[in-house]
Amino acid sequence: MPREPVHTDNAPAAIGTYSQAVRHGGLLFISGQIPLDPVTGALVGGDITVQVRQVFANLAAVADAAGTSLAETLKFTVYLTDLGDFATVNAVMEELLGAPYPARAAVEVAALPKGARVEVDAIVAC
């Protein structure tokens, strides 16, 4: 079964040698999304809540382009430059997603592309 790249103009273009997402079988692997505005390609301003919301909007746009939604997410991996922002991620996820929640890992990292404070990737059923 061949892998199928997924692309949408409603999420930021890849800034490297990767696809926004790849579908294989019944799974969609969404590449890490940082809080970039899909129109300008610039990092969104504002506090961490604004950045986390943009990340999830980008993830949702890619899932939608593949014909699925974040409600079908099996696992998120969250990368934060400050684990002190973890409560904000939880609050946004609780607002955007319903129970049962997907599996998740959260990791503090030294830095993220373009100076972002948060990045999230996802594995979604499709």
Is CATH 3.30.1330.40 correct for 4-125?
A: yes
The H or E element spanning position 80 is strand 73-80
- Token pair, residue 73, equals 């997410």
DSSP labels for 49-60? HHHHHHHHHHHH
pLDDT band of 1, cuts 50, 70, 90: confident
> What mean pLDDT do residues 57-79 have?
98
What is the chain's mean pLDDT, rounded? 96
Which residue in 35, 32, 6 sits closest to 19, CA to CA?
6
pTM for the structure as a whole:
0.97
pLDDT tens digits, 4-49: 999 999 999 998 899 999 999 999 999 999 999 999 999 998 899 9
**How far apart (Å, rounded) are the C-alpha atoms in residues 45 and 7?**
25
Band of the pLDDT at 105, cuts 50, 70, 90?
very high
- Per-residue pLDDT, averaged over 107-114, amounts to 97
What are the boundaries of each domain within the chain? 4-125
Q: Which residue has the tokens 């948060």?
A: 118
